[in-house]
Amino acid sequence: MEIKKVAVLGAGLMGHGIAQVAAQTAKYEVYMRDIKPEFLDNGMKMINDSLQRFLKKGEISEAEVAQVLNRIHPTLDMKEAVADADLIIEAVPENPELKKNVLAEVDKYVKPEAFIVSNTSSISITELASAIHQPEKFAGMHFFNPPQLMKLVEIVRGAKTADETVNVIVEVTKRMSKESVLVKKDVAGFVVNRILIPALNEAVTLLDEDVAEPEDIDKAVKLGLNWPMGPLTLLDNIGLDTTLAIAEVMQKELGSKYTPSLRLKEMVKAGLLGRKSGKGFYDWKK
């Protein structure tokens, strides 16, 4: 089955970027759905800002910017978004119950031949698939932040995911000019976060133990491990709340070595979430 129309559920940090890639690179018609007008407005603003950056770099033309924006249809109506979509990409916040409720609503309107994927970074694909009637047509399609620039997509098999579903998602990933890795087992954290979350948590623990200053922890990892940015800067970019949510899922599924540090929990409680709140390990208001 050829994918022509895509629905992206969620216009936030990941959703707007996925919608942009689907419209700009893959040239799909995209319905971007969220629950409040201001969320959609903010999503469209972020897409426009990103397109303007591509324009300034000379990577796209004014005409192409207009074409991309014409392909994206923001909507508050779930039925309008998914009823005619060939592929539905769920990109709502990292909360299992919220995701399952959204997927159950999708299931009411979706056409039987459509495929559904979740952009979850840690939640069980098998568990999420239990919310829909055709779990064989469901998989994980985990993009990385920002989706407009990051090349990787993790494609995750649930217990009932069909080979056809995996093949379709691999083709969609290619059309988006991304590289995919197939995660054969539905394990918490998949491949990247399984390695990354303990590393980020350890960086926070080093800070907690007053081993080094934030700038030096970041500098050590950038220069010593050749990361493009240090772990504390990366945490501020991902969002401390998002990282904590992933760590807690992994702790529950995989055991105590994924226990989030006390400082991470305290910073989230204090609303120090990184860039999105203006302050995390660094002050982003400057």
Q: How large is the average pLDDT for residues 52-56? A: 95
Q: How large is the average pLDDT for residues 29-40? A: 97
Q: What is the mean pLDDT of the chain?
A: 95
Pairing mode of beta strands 152-156, 179-183:
parallel
Tokens of 193: 């976060």
Phi/psi region, residue 3 (left: phi>0; alpha: psi -120 to 50; beta: rest), is beta
Spatial neighbors of 238 by CB under 8 A, at least 6 apart, are 145, 274
Q: What is the pLDDT of residue 197?
A: 94
Among 83-92, 148-157, 249-258, where is mean pLDDT lowest?
249-258
User: How many of the other CB atoms lie within 10 Å of CB of 282?
Assistant: 16
Q: How large is the average pLDDT for residues 210-224? A: 97
Q: How large is the average pLDDT for residues 169-194? A: 95
* Separation CA 62–CA 55 (nearest Å): 7
Confidence band of 30 (pLDDT split at 50, 70, 90): very high
Domains parsed from the chain with CATH numbers: 5-183 (3.40.50.720), 194-276 (1.10.1040.10)
Q: What is the pLDDT of residue 246?
A: 87
Tokens of 162: 């069909």
Tokens of 178: 């991304």
List, for residues 135-173, the tens digit of each pLDDT value. 999 999 999 988 999 999 999 999 999 999 999 999 999
Confidence band of 134 (pLDDT split at 50, 70, 90): very high
Statement: residue 121 has pLDDT above 90:
no
* Separation CA 138–CA 116 (nearest Å): 5
Statement: residue 286 has pLDDT above 90:
no
Could you identify the residue written with the tokens 């004014």? 62
CA 143 from centroid of its chain's CA atoms: 5
What is the percentage of the chain residues whose pLDDT exceeds 90?
91
Q: What is the pLDDT of residue 249?
A: 86
Active site annotation includes 16: no
At 76 the three-state DSSP class reads coil
Statement: residue 189 has pLDDT above 90:
no
Q: How large is the average pLDDT for residues 10-35? A: 97
Q: How large is the average pLDDT for residues 113-120? A: 97
Q: What is the pLDDT of residue 1?
A: 78
Q: Among positive and negative, which fits the CA dihedral 98, 102, 103, 108?
A: positive
Q: What is the pLDDT of residue 196?
A: 94
* Separation CA 26–CA 29 (nearest Å): 9
* Separation CA 205–CA 268 (nearest Å): 15
* Separation CA 197–CA 114 (nearest Å): 33
Q: At what angle do helices 192-208 and 231-238 cross, to 10 degrees?
A: 110
Bridge partners (DSSP) of residue 138 are 116
Spatial neighbors of 19 by CB under 8 A, at least 6 apart, are 8, 11, 30, 32, 43, 47, 72
CA distance between the termini of the chain: 49
Q: How large is the average pLDDT for residues 34-63? A: 96
CA 15 from centroid of its chain's CA atoms: 7
* Separation CA 17–CA 147 (nearest Å): 5
Contact indicator for 144, 150 with CB cutoff of 8 Å: yes
* Separation CA 72–CA 258 (nearest Å): 39
